[in-house]
Amino acid sequence: MTNDLEIRIEQHDSGYDPKAYTFTRRPVVLKYYQRFTLIEQAIEFEKQLKGWSRKKKEALFNEDWDEVKRLSNLKKK
């Protein structure tokens, strides 16, 4: 979550924080982003994404909304 996407990507790519998840996974590649008007919505969406499976995240990256929905329904059963 950031209010300046370019700076945030540069921070991750440069290894700005050795404790960050991305530190050993550089170079980073931005796969998806979404804009929110309220910071609370952004925080909630980020928390939600962290709980998603890799397959569901990949469907999101590909903007395959049918697959995102299908994978969401699988988890509910």
Residue 1's pLDDT is what? 84
Position 74 scores a pLDDT of: 84
Q: Where are the domains of the chain?
A: 1-30, 36-77
Token pair of 7 as six digits: 């700076």
Helix or strand run (H / E) with residue 44: helix 39-50
Query: In this predicted model, what pLDDT tens digit does every residue of 16-68 receive, in sequence order?
Result: 999 999 999 999 999 999 999 999 999 999 999 999 999 999 999 999 999 99
Q: State pTM to two decimals.
A: 0.76
C-alpha to C-alpha distances, 71 to 44, 50, 54, 76, nearest whole angstrom: 19, 15, 11, 9
